[in-house]
């Protein structure tokens, strides 16, 4: 089990290989559908004019995400009334929904890691090679267990998106994950998909 501190260097990213388990410590940011769409439209493709505190949030996120990690997570958060936030549950959400956005977000913000479940596609895999970065698979169904690695909630952006879709800035210690897409073009998800299709084709070809 390799221990990795955030921010993560390019050298460390290139050392990581598919199948390698890691423990992450440092500051990361959660982000799902609304967050990725907002970043793409407002700051990368600029098809939407910044509104409200968008520019301030952008400046701060540029610093936070540089060398850091985006976690596809819709957390359950306690302390909303007092703003003494605490993650009660922090399981990964399905990553493929962010496939149209992820590579561009990684490149623009210099994001070194993306955490989620289920893997991502060819565009993100290419983004992992170019940025460079890695995709990390977190444990589905272990939301309460993963929340124990979240030691502190440092802040939140775009709360108007709702609690699950907001960008939460969290400090983690020994966050468990496995590299399933690396900076060398290897994807465990693509390999499994290819093998599954081969088995299916063989089954369909058998006479009954």
Q: Would you name the residues annotated as active-site residues?
A: 36
Q: Which helix (H) or strand (E) holds 198?
A: helix 188-205
- The Cα-based distances of 39 to 24, 34, 81 in angstroms read 24, 9, 27
Whole-angstrom distance, CA of residue 147 vs CA of residue 91: 8
Helix residue ranges, H only, 102-157: 102-109, 122-130, 143-147
Q: Which residue's structure tokens are 């290897």?
A: 186
Q: Are 4 and 22 in contact (CB under 8 A)?
A: yes
Q: Which helix (H) or strand (E) holds 14?
A: helix 10-15
Query: Which is nearest to 127 in space by CA: 135, 117, 138?
Result: 135
Collapsed DSSP state (helix, strand, coil) of residue 133: coil
The upper half-sphere exposure of residue 14, i.e. CA atoms within 13 Å in the direction of its Cβ, equals: 7
Whole-angstrom distance, CA of residue 133 vs CA of residue 6: 13
């Amino acid at each position: 089990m390799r221990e990795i501190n955030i921010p993560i260097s390019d050298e460390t990213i290139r050392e990581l290989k598919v199948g390698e388990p890691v423990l992450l410590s440092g500051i990361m940011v959660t982000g799902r559908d609304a967050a990725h769409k907002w970043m793409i439209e407002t700051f990368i493709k600029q098809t939407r004019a910044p509104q409200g505190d968008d520019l301030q949030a952008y400046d701060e996120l540029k610093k936070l995400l540089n060398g850091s990690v985006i976690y596809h997570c819709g957390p359950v958060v306690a302390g909303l009334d007092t703003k003494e936030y605490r993650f009660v549950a922090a399981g990964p959400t399905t990553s493929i929904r962010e496939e149209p956005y992820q590579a561009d977000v990684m490149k623009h913000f210099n994001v070194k890691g993306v955490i989620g479940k289920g893997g991502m596609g060819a565009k993100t895999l290419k983004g992992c090679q170019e940025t460079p970065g890695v995709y990390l698979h977190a444990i589905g169904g272990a939301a309460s267990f993963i929340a124990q690695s979240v030691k502190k909630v440092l802040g939140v952006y775009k709360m108007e998106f709702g609690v699950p879709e907001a960008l939460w800035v969290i400090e983690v210690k020994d966050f468990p994950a496995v590299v399933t897409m690396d900076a060398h073009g290897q994807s465990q998800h693509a390999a499994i998909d290819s093998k599954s299709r081969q088995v299916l084709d063989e089954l369909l070809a058998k006479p009954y």
